[in-house]
Structure formats: structure tokens, C-alpha cells
Amino acid sequence: MEFLSNLQEQLSTAYELLAAGWGVQLLWGIGWTLAVTTVSMAIGALLGSLVAAAKLSHHAGLRFLGESYTTVFRGEPELLVIYLFYYGGTQILTGVARSTGSIGSTDILNMPSFLGGVLAVGIISGAYQAEVFRGSFLAIHRGELEAARAYGMSAWLRFRLVIMPQVLRLAVPGLGNVWQLTIKDSALISVTGVAELMLTANKAARSTHHSLLFYTVAGILYLVMTSISTPIFDKAERYTSRSFLRPK
């Protein structure tokens, strides 16, 4: 019985804290996390497709560049890349601004934390997406490409009508994995001061001394985000491969 009343007390404290404004803050945190993840995925998709093209290219130099990109950004700790873009960006911006005299010689021009974080996570995500795109391209039946060429399709037309629809279809499951990875990486950009879920939970935990409560809530919210995305990607997979399903 004592345990139950204790639990009830705990729950009512949790409710009071969340209702006192932290709940809304955490919801905003989710919004920022989703924004960071979406923008990073978009940056990653752009970079990833370019890098995949480079890795599949006939030029040895381009292939080397693509290989180096994926090796470096999959081999470095995510935290290091984030620090590099945030503090490195600050270093560059400050240097440029000081030399043009737009700020004083002792002032510092900070990298916008959202931009720095999104670039870093996007570039990491791009390295993983490049591998996904490359794998899907290699899975396209060679004969289809040859047939398209035999029809006299230009390279652009081949890309638009034959390669892209199939790469997108085959890449959906892989992109789902990268999305989950990117949600989890987005927690790391709390170190640069973007008010996403992790940082909000951190602030709440520090100022109310209820770290257990707020980190548990944050953990649950991350679980909700990652588990909601699974059926969405399943649906996208069914949609993109609808012409390959057997009629019922």
C-alpha cells in the first residue's frame, strides 16, 4: 500500500511539473527535433545522391572522393562532426568578420546553432544515404538500363524515367533506417544549444532536480517518434512498390 501511495505522489508531482509549463516546452522540443531531422534528411538526400553518383562514376578521381566522404563521415564520432561544424563555423565566421572589420577585434561571431547542427547531422546522414542509394542503383536490372539506351534515351531521360523511380522504390527501407539514425543523432546537437527535445529535457532536469522524470519522458518521446516512423515507412514502401504487388 505504501508503494502505491508513493507512486501516486510521484505521478502527481510529475503531472504538476509537466502542467507547469515543462510539458509544452517538451512538445516544442519534439517540434524542433522533427525539424532538425527533416532538414538534415533533406540535406543528406541531396549530398547522398551526389556522392552515390560519384561512387558509381567512371572517373577514378570522383570515385575516390565519394569513397573518402562515406568513409570519413561514417567513421568519425557524430559529436566530433557536430563540434567541427559549430565551433569551426564560429572560427571561420569570426575570422572573416574580423578581417572585414564588421566586428571588433575581440568580438566573436557565433555560428547559428541550428544551421551548424543541421549541416553536421545532414552530412553524416548523407554518408549513410549515399550507401543506400548506391545499393539501390546496383539492384536495378542491368537489362532495363540497356533497353533504355537501345531506345536512344538521353542520359537525363534514362535517369528520370528508369533510374530514379526504381532507386526511390528500392531505397525506401534503407532510408527508413537512416531516418531513425538521424532522429537519434539529432539528440547530439543539444550540445550546440538548439532547443530540441534533449536540451529541453536537460534544462528541465537541471532546474527542477527531477532528472529521472524528465529523462524518462524524453526517452519515451524518442521511442514514440521512432516507432511512429516505422509504419509510415512501411506504408511508403507499399505505395512505391504497388505495381510489384500481386493483385488480391
The binding site for other proteins (CB under 8 A) comprises 71-72, 75-80, 83-84, 87-88, 90-92, 180, 183-185, 187-188, 190-191, 198, 201-202, 205, 210-212, 215-216, 218-219, 222-223, 226-227
Q: How far is the CB of 230 from other proteins (least distance, A)?
A: 9
Closest to other proteins by CB, 57 vs 227, is: 227
Q: Rounded to an integer, what distance in angstroms lies between the CA atom of residue 183 and that of residue 64?
A: 29
Kindly list the distances between the CA atom of residue 155 and the CA atoms of 48, 62, 149, 161, 231, in Å, as whole numbers in the listed order. Answer: 20, 18, 8, 10, 35
Which residue number, 96 or 223, has a Cβ lying nearer to other proteins? 223
- Of 47 and 217, which CB lies nearer to other proteins in the complex structure? 217
What are the residues whose beta carbons fall under 8 Å from the beta carbon of 194, sequence distance 6 or more? 32, 36, 113, 114, 117
Q: Are 38 and 122 in contact (CB under 8 A)?
A: no
Cα 21 from chain centroid (whole Å): 28
CB of 212 to other proteins, least distance (A): 4
Task: Report the nearest approach of other proteins to the CB of residue 158 (Å).
Answer: 33
For residue 8, give Cα distances in angstroms to 12, 17, 54: 6, 14, 59
Among residues 115, 139, 133, 129, the alpha carbon closest in space to that of 74 is found at 129
Amino acid in the structure at residue 170? L
By C-beta, is 148 or 188 nearer to other proteins? Answer: 188
Q: Which residue lies nearer to other proteins by CB, 226 or 240?
A: 226
- For the bound state, the minimum distance from the C-beta of residue 112 to other proteins, rounded and expressed in Å, comes to 16
Least Cβ distance, residue 45 to other proteins (angstroms): 22
